[in-house]
Amino acid sequence: MQAFEYANPATLQEAVAMLGSSWGEADILAGGTDLISLMKDYIHTPKRVVNIKGLKELQGITKTATGLRIGAVVTFDEVAESPLIRSEYPSIVQAVLGVASPQIRNMGTVGGDLCQRNRCWYFRQGFGTLGKDKDGTSLPPIGENRYHAIFPKGDAYFVSASSLGPPLIALGAKVKIAGPSGSREIPVEELFVVPTSNKGREVSLAPNEILTEILIPSARGVRNATYEVRHKQALDWPLATASVALRMKGSTVASAKIVLGHVGPTPVIATEAEALLAGKALTPDLAAEAGKVAVNGAKPLSGNEYKVQLTRVAVKRALMEAMKARA
Ligand SMILES: Cc1cc2nc3c(=O)[nH]c(=O)nc-3n(C[C@H](O)[C@H](O)[C@H](O)COP(=O)(O)OP(=O)(O)OC[C@H]3O[C@@H](n4cnc5c(N)ncnc54)[C@H](O)[C@@H]3O)c2cc1C
């Protein structure tokens, strides 16, 4: 690992001031479950590491007038154990419990989950965010791509790694971001971006910005669920995920949000499937139809066609799970 300066700021303002104005100057350290591996592999070689884990401003889960606030350094374990989250947001609890291993859930934070780097083998081997060769050739389409996107965008074939992204988007959550000129709030779907250069990032944060909290509207009356299809029950990311949030009018769906995870470089909003459900009673057949429609436009690579069927199944099962969930 390259030597670095370690900073332990006492306040959020101090932490922001310690970050650099370009990538590579400083890295934010939360639980370290992704950052430390990136540093050990020389993928990230920051001059300074800024620890945010002790910042009071970033801690705690609290009720707000409109829903819930989760501080960025809250761990997966704290989320899974929170009665406030368990009572209204089963889709979040299901996503968190899917994150493998008690150790990761104990150390990993919600802010770190949203900001973690992608898992593409080429990126992790030093070929840049988009996994390109020196001459600019994209490696995933011509190489190993079994875990890559079935909804690639531009030259981005990696998948967004975050398990929390899909349920937060389905629930209409926002994130609050602090920077040198104050703070701003954006919908979670605007946090995830498709990098256009091999040095670009997967999130829309500037190098000197910190994600400080997640703000989720109340989900009272919203049936929500996440269904992940995984290779195995330990130490791996899902192959395909669907998170759904349904507003019901009696026994029919008034409106639906369906968000697919781990199939594109950003979470994919399945708008066609959402429209299909509106105004209809949700039956297993309709849920299966929504799964089929959700993968319209998928462009699988040579080795990941199987993910199309997994995604159909994830959508169907998430919808059926939501119908069982307490609203
Ligand atoms: C074996 C294994 C299995 C895993 N399985 C899953 C899975 O199924 N689903 C899933 O979603 N994840 C999975 N993960 C990833 C894990 O969730 C992340 O490593 C973790 O959430 C990162 O949180 P952290 O606090 O440790 O972040 P860190 O490692 O400290 O940081 C991660 C990145 O985010 C940046 N960052 C951290 N916090 C902030 C912030 N508040 N503002 C701005 N930038 C920030 C850091 O600079 C760094 O680039 C797995 C990891 C491992 C090792």
Q: Which tens digit of pLDDT belongs to each residue from 223-259?
A: 999 999 998 776 789 999 999 999 999 989 999 999 9
Q: Is the pLDDT of residue 1 over 80?
A: yes
Q: Is the pLDDT of residue 101 over 90?
A: no
Residue percentage of the chain with pLDDT more than 70: 99
- Whether residue 61 contacts residue 79, with contact meaning beta carbons closer than 8 Å, is answered with yes
**Residue 115 in contact with ligand 1 by CB distance below 6 A:** yes
Token pair 């299966």 is found at 288
- Whether residue 96 contacts residue 80, with contact meaning beta carbons closer than 8 Å, is answered with yes
Domain 222-324 has CATH 3.30.1330.40: no
pLDDT of res. 22: 95
For the chain, give every domain's residue range: 222-324
- Give me the mean pLDDT over the 101-121 stretch: 96
pLDDT band (50, 70, 90) for residue 18 = very high
Q: Give the total residue count for the chain.
A: 327
**Residue 26 in contact with ligand 1 by CB distance below 6 A:** no
Q: Is the pLDDT of residue 44 over 80?
A: yes
pLDDT band (50, 70, 90) for residue 327 = low
Mention every residue, 6+ apart, whose C-beta is less than 8 A from residue 287.
315, 316, 319, 320
**Residue 15 in contact with ligand 1 by CB distance below 6 A:** no
Q: Is the pLDDT of residue 293 over 90?
A: yes
Q: How far apart are CA 33 and CA 166, in angstroms?
A: 21
Strands (E), 250-296: 252-261, 268-269
Q: Is the pLDDT of residue 325 over 90?
A: no
> What pLDDT digit, counting tens, does each position of 150-191 carry?
999 999 999 999 999 999 999 999 999 999 999 999 999 999
Q: DSSP assignment, residue 320?
A: H
> What pLDDT digit, counting tens, does each position of 190-210 carry?
999 999 999 999 999 999 999
**Residue 165 in contact with ligand 1 by CB distance below 6 A:** no
* Ligand 1 atom with the shortest distance to the CA of 113: 21
3-state secondary structure of 49: strand
